[in-house]
Structure 1
Amino acid sequence: MGKLDKIAFIPLDERPCNYEFPYLLAQGTGIHMARPPMEMMGLKKRPGDTNRLWSWLEEQSMDADGAVISLDTLLYGGIIPSRLHALEHPQVAERLQRLRGLKERNPDLKIFAFQLIMRCPQYSIADEEPDYYADWGREIFRKGLISHRSKLGIATGEELEELSDIERRLPAEILEDYMHRRSVNIGVIRDVLDMIAEGFIDFMIFPQDDSAPYGHTAKDQQKVRAMISELDLELTTYMYPGADEVGCTLLARMINDSKHKVPLVYPRMSAVQGPFVTPLYEDRFFYESLKYQIMAAGGLITSSAEEADLILIVNTPGETMMEAESQKHAFFSYDVYRNIIELVEYGNYMLRHKGKPVAAADVGYANGADQKLVKLLKQKEMLFDLAGYAGWNTSSNTLGTVIAQSMLYLHYGRTSQHLDFLALRYAEDLCYCSVVRMGLNQGEVEAMGLSKFELDGHRGEVSRMVRKRLVQELEERINGGEGRVEITDCYMPWNRTFEVGLSVRYHLSEH
């Protein structure tokens, strides 16, 4: 692909990680990234306006060089609506056919798309699932898992007893609704694969958020993998854990592609066992996902720091991954089976003495940054000299974000937009996810008569309290002689504590 002046972008949903992050990364590149107006997007369980989104995309892609497209948004109205819709296969297939017109009207348009394999969480919470998941989610998950293990001949006697108990209790109409939607979604994936084979999509990712080695999602993966193989699409169609980072990944891939560059990445781990940890919410060893994340963004892993374009210091767990909120009482393995001091010293040496760009993938914990790592990076005055940093949600969400940011850094350098994005990561991944959210969830919102799933609106008292706390945490943990982070906006996008919406600016100190 040659020139890249404009990208038409359809996000996975309206949350900042999907709507804002790729857009923010594109700032400072000289590329115009067009995205639909917020009113066309949905709001959590309310689907986006698919007709208007299609019309917007058709118009914008006429003069675009590339398109980064979430098919879940165009087909179902977003990530959550893809798990809730009552559409039949023919209706969705008809929507999909509009994709052909994009290339027919603009044959030079490069289309990079992604579509999730529907997840199956292992808990009974309906926050992002059909309402009946509040009562039956655990049973739906366990039925899928044990049935899968039974089919493979590895289910235990206890599991089989549990399965017959679930089958006796789980209402047939609920299971039927759930399985029918899964089969519609898989049928549409088959149609998408045909379009890739016909050349209407240039590159495709099927990510899975919240995956596990056995169960409904794992079985669907097997079906999709078989279809990919049957159509000989392995080199243009990837499938691996992730979701909310894919917009960033595909942006990086498109830019690398347009510049005919394949960045070589040398990953340096904090723990010998790190590559062999299976992260929470994922279905495979960490190192296998790392390879996919780097390849999907247009790069490759290299085995030597000498030939690397980028050094990725990777803060993995030493043995088992825990939630970020557990770090006050971290497992013994976090201190003994990994060495983050050596990791930071190595990163600092490569940056200061070898002049190599260094990025930090903070995947020590799920759902938040490692406070010790960020403290060490600050002591070394590395925080704002990094090519990228992330430490949020799942391991793959973090990887895709930091890899995309650091690949753009290789092309465009230390722009003010790059520094702002680093500042956003420290404000959100460390100060919010790893510190402030913990307090909210441990009684503070309940004391206000609210719950962590239902706050007092996008810009209520909670958002004001969060902003105040973040200012304090940034002052203590991030701000220093080099500069300071200013929060210019703070809101609660889905009216719950899980995510925060932030706008920040980084102000370099006048030396």
Structure 2
Amino acid sequence: MNRIFRALLLVFVLAAALAFYHFILHPAAALTPVSPVRTLSSRVVLVPLDSRPPCRQHVVDLGRIAGLDVVTPPAECMDYYSQPGDTKAMQDWLMAAVQPGDAVILSIDQLLYGGLLAAREKQAPEDLQDALVHYLRALRAAHPGVPIYAFSILPRLTPQDTIDGYDERRALIAYSRLVGRKAAGLAMDEDELARLRAKISDQSLATYEGHFRENAALNEKLVALTKDGTLTRLVLGQDDGEPYGIPNIEKATIQQTMAELGLTEQQCFLTHGADEIAQTLLAAYACERAGYHPRVAIAATDPKAKTRVMPYMAVDCETVAEEKIRLLGGTVADAPKDADLTLFLSANDSDEGSMDTRQAAADFLTACVASPDKTGTPVALVDLSKHFDAAEPLLPLLLGRDFPVTRLAAYAGWNTTSNAIGTALSAAAICEAAAAQPLDADEARAVAAESARFLQNRVLEDYFYLKADIDSINHALKKAGYRNTSDLDLEHNHRWATAMLQKKLQLQTILYKHSKSLRAPFPVPQTGEELAIYDLRTDTSFPWPRTFEIYLETEPYFALTK
């Protein structure tokens, strides 16, 4: 109790000191509070990949920027961590929810397996696959004018949890990598391959390889549904990829099938990533509705940032960026002066000495914001860290310079490259597509305000939580007796764990919301006005019984400064 009291007293003293400094010693200019509300004129029905916020809540939040009401399933249909969703109830809900004029974004993994984690473990034999095909055809027949954007995730290289022997799992991973190298025509050690095979039981290998064969058969059927128009578009994502492995063999087979059927990227698209795909499909739909096809320049001051392969990725950062740009209907521009958007890649690895390049990156971004005519484009910042710690990202350096974070078009720095790039590009493209439309003053302010709210969500979660706070929270949990922070007992300790999370993030928010970086005004392009955030509050909790992600909603309070 004394510790809680001391922590609360510290928060109060810090808040009082900051308020005295900013409002008494340095009073702000007169502000006119406003509460912009975006009109949601059309609907998108979403079947999320799973119940985590990146797969569901982020899409809802981005929809508000675009003026789209993203309708999501009731909680009783959805998965919860390792508990699969109710696939029959989900299919019934979707069939009934769709209305004329809607668009549909649906996860095949949710409809068939009950979510991403379930898809990694459960089997879907031919009869279940055929039942799904029948359902999708019935969905198309019931709603002939509704675009249906579907996405499915290729199995990752890591073995299923049902294969639980530590040595055997390690051998399977190494075996898969060598098989992938062999399939790619690269040199590999046949003796090592045989040694690894001897460590794997026939049953485990059959389970592992059978999962890929089953998924390949499913994807063949989904591609055929796209060819005949049942699906408007199909996106296949590679989850937690590596350069070589059995998953890449399946991917190459699907690519060959797509080419033989003459499918375009607008019909069928392969991309690296999983959690961000629904966001990118929403951005593609919003851009298409607006007739906006962004030309995006990919920038980086670190020469290696574009070519660096970050953790859980099969390809480098630039390749991922080019994929996501094409997926949302854009093109890669040769230079910022030829672009509508600039995607700035910061991908730091302290082991390679890349930390020294952050000063040049900060100089570049500062010049872009101070003199936007030098680039002529809004800038979306992707802020990656090789070791997922608070020292490597660019943001702390920017905050130390009082850089106006509010003037970024988007920010993302979640743990995988594909998630961060997909999220940042989607947010920036949706905002720019909305801003390109004729809007009255209230709607123009609402677009700017919703975009700012999404940006601050990303700053608070991707940096302040995932880089600065998560390690100390995990340490506190382990001191309390937890040995695995991916298996929390939230049924009995929800209040305690959530209170600890909220206290950590509230302290970060108090410090951040009084910074010049957050209080810097940002433009409302259509009106010539500027908005500023004069207060910021947060609501946060653990959506699943693990610390890897949080539910976070910020409530910024806006004012017109001119």
Q: Mark yes or no: TM-score above 0.5.
A: yes
- Post-superposition Cα deviations, 1:419-451, rounded to whole Å, max 9, x if no partner, equal 22111111100011101112234x322101013
- Asked if the contact 2:45–2:105 (Cα under 8 Å) also holds between the matched residues in 1, the reply is yes
Question: Per-residue displacement from partner, 1:188-215 (whole Å, max 9, x unpaired)?
Answer: 0000000011011122211112111211
Q: Quote the Cα distance in structure 2 between the aligned partners of 1:24 and 1:228.
A: 33
* Inter-partner Cα distance in structure 2 for 1:369 and 1:57: 41
Cα pair 2:149 2:281 within 8 Å, conserved: yes
Deviation at 1:486, TM superposition (A): 4.1
Q: What's 1:143 paired with?
A: 175
Asked if 1 retains the 8 angstrom alpha-carbon contact of 2:237 and 2:273, the reply is yes
Q: 2:552 aligns with which of 492, 502, 511?
A: 502
Mapped partners of 2:204, 2:393: distance in 1? 45
Please list the CA deviations of residues 137-161 of structure 1 after superposition, one character each: whole Å capped at 9, or x if unmatched.
Answer: 222211111223345564544xx44
Contact 1:75–1:96 at 8 Å: present in 2 too? no
Corresponding residue number in structure 2 for 1:299: 330
Q: Answer whether contact 1:375 1:477 (CA < 8 A) is retained.
A: no
Given residue 469 of structure 1, which amino acid in structure 2 is its aligned partner?
K
For 1:333, the equivalent position in structure 2 comes to: 354
Query: Does residue 453 of the first structure (1) align with residue 486 of the second (2)?
Result: yes
Aligned pair partner of 1:282 in 305, 308, 313: 313
Aligned length: 491
Give the whole-Å Cα distance in 2 for the aligned partners of 1:416 and 1:347.
Answer: 21
* Structure 2 counterpart of 1:473, from 497, 504, 508: 508
The CA deviation string for residues 66-113 of structure 1, in whole angstroms up to 9 with x for no partner, is 111111111111111111113312212211321122222222211111
Where does 1:395-406 land on structure 2 (aligned, <5 Å)? Answer: 395-406=417-428
CA distance in 1, matches of 2:184, 2:54: 38
Q: Is the 8 A contact 1:270 1:316 kept in 2?
A: no
Identity fraction in percent? 24
AA at the equivalent of 2:223: L
What's the CA shift for 1:166? 2.7
1:27 to 57, 64, 79: 64
User: Does residue 265 of the first structure (1) align with residue 305 of the second (2)?
Assistant: no
**Residues 50 and 78 of structure 2 are in contact (CA less than 8 Å); yes or no, is this contact kept in structure 1?**
yes
Cα shift at 1:349? 3.9
Post-superposition offset of 1:334: 2.6
Give the gaps of 5 or more residues in structure 2.
1-39, 436-446, 520-532
Partner Cα separation in structure 2 for residue 347 and residue 464 of structure 1: 39
Higher RCO (C-alpha under 8 Å, 6+ residues apart): 2
Asked if 1 retains the 8 angstrom alpha-carbon contact of 2:276 and 2:422, the reply is yes
Residue 437 (str. 1) matches residue 502 (str. 2): no
Equivalent-residue separation in structure 1 for 2:312 and 2:468 (angstroms): 21
Distance 1:253 1:87, change over 3 A: same
Letter in 2 for 1:93: D
Alignment equivalent of 2:409, drawn from 365, 368, 387: 387
Query: Are 2:260 and 1:230 aligned?
Result: yes
- The structure-2 alpha-carbon separation of the partners of 1:292 and 1:152, relative to structure 1 and needing over 3 Å to count, comes to closer
**1:308 to 1:285, Cα distance in 2 relative to 1, 3 A:** same
Residues 148-184 of structure 1 deviation map (CA, whole Å, 9 limit, x = unaligned): 3345564544xx4443333222222122122222211
Cα distance in 2 for partners of 1:392, 1:408 equals: 19
How far does residue 279 in structure 1 lie from its aligned partner after superposition? 2.3
The answer to whether structure 1 residue 244 and structure 2 residue 286 are counterparts is no
Distance 1:144 1:491 in 2: 38
Counterpart amino acid of residue 502 in structure 1:
L
Q: Over residues 214-255 of structure 1, what are the superposed CA-to-partner deviations in whole Å (9 max), with x where a residue is unaligned?
A: 111111111111111111114221212111001110000001
Match of 1:9 in 2: 46
> What is residue 426 of structure 1 aligned with on the other side?
459
* Distance of 2:98 and 2:109 partners within structure 1: 18
> Structure 1, unaligned stretches of length 5 or more?
none
Residue equivalent to 1:120: 157
2:368/2:375 contact within 8 Å kept: no
Aligned to 2:128: 91
Match of 1:374 in 2: 395
CA contact (8 A) 1:366 1:394 kept: no
Residues 1:130 and 1:428: Cα distance change in structure 2 (over 3 Å): farther
User: Which piece of structure 1 moves more, 266-275 or 161-170?
Assistant: 161-170
* RMSD after superposition: 2.5
Please tell me whether Structure 1 or Structure 2 has the larger radius of gyration of its CA atoms: 2
Residue identity opposite 1:108 in structure 2? G
1:37 aligns with 74
Distance 1:366 1:291, change over 3 A: farther
Residue 169 and residue 365 in structure 1: after superposition, are their counterparts in 2 closer, same or farther (change >3 A)?
closer
Distance across 1 between alignment mates of 2:496 and 2:293: 47
Residue in structure 1 matched with residue 204 of structure 2 by the alignment: 174
What secondary structure sits across from 2:297 in the alignment? Answer: strand
CA drift of 1:277 comes to: 1.5
